[in-house]
Structure 1
Amino acid sequence: MKPLLLLIVVFAATSAISKFVTSNWSLPLSANLAMCPMLCFTALGHFMFPKGMAMMIPPFIPYKTALVYITGIAEVLLGLALLFPALRPYTGYVLIVFFILILPANIYAAIKHIDLEKGTYGGPGPNYLWFRIPMQLFLIAWVYYFSISSSI
């Protein structure tokens, strides 16, 4: 919920500033500026809660902790890449693939009741998916619309 709130607040603020300063709504710019801090914020979880994040990865995948750190770094780099118009469409495609690839980990974590912040099995459970899956689809649509289709 916090990442989505951050995305919307930064988008609204940068859109308003853009309209005030340039007299134009620069929605693709504002949307990509908003996605950058959202990705950096979610990346923090990879470094603050590596145990819980590693628990989200199914048992058959090796090197869980390393994967947590690598994906955290990737989120920061992808967020920063959105700030460069020449990289934006390519970054958008990579982000969509990333969002698709992490969804099974979120589903697994919900089914196993993983609390990523505490690194325990006391999380919200499968009901969380009623929020998480639509949010993931929203993020994919956001990236497609503002990073890819707006750049074509």
Structure 2
Amino acid sequence: MTFSPGKRGRGRSTTPRALFMSGLLGFAGTMHFIRPQPFDSIVPPSLGNRRAWTYASGVAEIGCAALLAVPATRRLGGAATAALMVAVYPANIYTVVKHWKSPMGRAIALARLPLQIPLVQMSWAIARNGD
């Protein structure tokens, strides 16, 4: 089965971006297991067991990292990573709401919101080009 969200060969090589994203996701995913508390704190309570969500998202990040690292699965990894970035965005919104009464906390949380956009764009470019 092949994944084909776009035409191959458009634009510049995504290999450096894929390896950067792979390293970033691999590190972040590993941190979900080494220091889960900060990740637990951004899971909305309405989702239930915060630690389970932290571990599940850590597994997803490590899985995406592995897909991005291997050229044969890079396009699928790009699409999976873009989907993951969109899926975890509500946690960033929850963090803004959670820290709304703290000017510094609110500023930091608000500043994080647009940072997800280039990660989604980079992931989708990898999915489209895969090289």
Task: Report the counterpart of residue 6 of structure 2 in structure 1.
Answer: none
Return the alpha-carbon distance in structure 1 between the equivalents of residues 68 and 122 of structure 2.
Answer: 12
Gap regions ≥5 residues in structure 2: 1-11
Higher RCO structure (Cα 8 Å, ≥6 apart): 2
Aligned partners of 1:113 and 1:133: how far apart in 2? Answer: 13
Q: Distance in 1 between matches of 2:127 and 2:104?
A: 34
Q: Could you give the per-residue CA deviations for residues 103-151 of structure 1, whole angstroms, max 9, x where no partner exists? A: 110121232139xxxxxxx894222244312210000001111x11213
Q: State the TM-score, normalized to the length of structure 1.
A: 0.68
1:138 matched to which residue of 2? 118
Runs of 4+ that moved beyond 6 A: none
1:1-152 matches, within 5 Å, as: 27-113=13-99, 124-145=104-125, 147-151=126-130
Gaps of 5+ in 1: 1-25, 115-121
Residues 137 and 48 from structure 1, CA distance in 2 versus in 1: closer, same or farther, beyond 3 angstroms?
same
Give a deviation string over 1:51-94, Cα, whole Å, max 9, x none. Answer: 23112111110221011012112211211111222212222121
TM-score (norm 2): 0.78
